[in-house]
Each structure stands twice: as structure tokens, then as C-alpha cells.
């Protein structure tokens, strides 16, 4: 029974991984450089995106802007697909001066899988000396292979 459960679980998770054809979650330059490991770390600019509770451990505010694009330069006569230029943009503001600390973000992604605009706000508050709780609200408009409006 245990082997069947493990086999079924692996099959379900592998199908979900292979079948995904949507827009990836936004990554800052730091999380790209850390291969995604930055999601669990305490970083001021990434806190409103990934871990809003960690913002309470900072005593400064910030304004962060990132714009990146990907373009396929070399073309090949054997390639049948047309690859478009990808453009991503992020504006992020964090404020730690009030009792409720938080951030406001705007993300725009124009990728091969589609387009996404997202506005999000996050709030965090201390629960104790070494603990905090955070909340994020996101509003997303997406036109992709997975979601079609």
C-alpha cells in the first residue's frame, strides 16, 4: 500500500511539473542569483514579495526598481517557433517607520507564456522579540496559456 501511495504521489507531482505552461513567479536579481534560495532568507527588498513577516526586523525603508529583458539573438533555420522578447518590470516600496510595517509592489511581466500585471500590498507586525506575522494581498490580471480572460 505504501509503494502504491508513493508511486501515485510521484506521478501526480511530476505531471503538474511537466504540464505547467504559465508565467513564472517574479524573481528579483538577488533571488535569481541565489537560484531561488533567497525566498526563505530575510531580505528587505524581497520581503513584500516572498516573506512579508521578515520586514519587521528592519529599521529602514527602501525604494527598489528592476527592469530586465530576454531576447534570443541567434536565429536558426531549423527552429520552427517564434520567440518574442521578454520584458519584466518591478517597482517596490517598503516602509518600516510605523507600527505595521509593510510594502507596496507593482509587477509587469511580458513573457513567452503571456502577460501579467500585479499590484500587491503587504503588512507585518511583531508578535514577540523574535517572531512576526505577515499578510500579503495581491491583485493580478493575467493573459497566459494557463489563464485566458
pLDDT band at 39; cut points 50, 70, 90:
low
pLDDT digits (tens, 9 = 90+) for 74-132: 667 776 666 777 889 999 999 988 888 999 999 999 887 788 999 999 999 989 888 99
Res 111: pLDDT: 84
- The CA distance from 70 to 140, in Å, is 22
Per residue in 5-29, pLDDT tens?
787 777 676 655 555 567 777 888 8
**Alpha-helix runs per DSSP H in the chain:** 2-19, 29-33, 47-50
Contact 52, 103 (CB under 8 A): yes
| Residue 18 confidence (pLDDT) | 53
Amino acid at each position: 500500500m505504501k509503494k502504491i501511495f508513493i508511486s501515485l504521489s510521484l506521478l501526480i507531482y511530476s505531471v503538474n511539473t511537466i504540464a505547467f505552461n504559465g508565467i513564472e513567479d517574479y524573481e528579483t536579481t538577488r533571488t535569481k542569483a541565489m537560484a531561488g534560495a533567497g525566498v526563505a532568507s530575510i531580505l528587505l527588498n524581497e520581503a513584500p514579495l516572498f516573506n512579508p513577516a521578515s520586514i519587521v526586523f528592519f529599521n529602514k525603508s527602501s525604494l527598489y526598481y528592476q527592469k530586465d529583458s530576454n531576447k534570443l539573438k541567434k536565429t536558426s533555420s531549423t527552429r520552427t517557433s517564434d520567440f518574442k522578447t521578454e520584458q519584466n518590470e518591478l517597482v517596490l516600496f517598503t516602509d518600516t517607520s510605523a507600527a505595521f510595517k509593510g510594502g507596496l509592489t507593482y509587477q509587469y511581466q511580458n513573457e513567452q507564456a503571456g502577460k501579467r500585471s500585479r499590484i500587491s500590498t503587504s503588512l507585518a507586525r511583531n508578535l514577540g522579540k523574535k517572531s512576526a506575522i505577515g499578510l500579503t494581498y495581491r491583485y493580478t490580471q493575467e493573459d497566459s496559456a494557463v489563464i485566458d480572460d
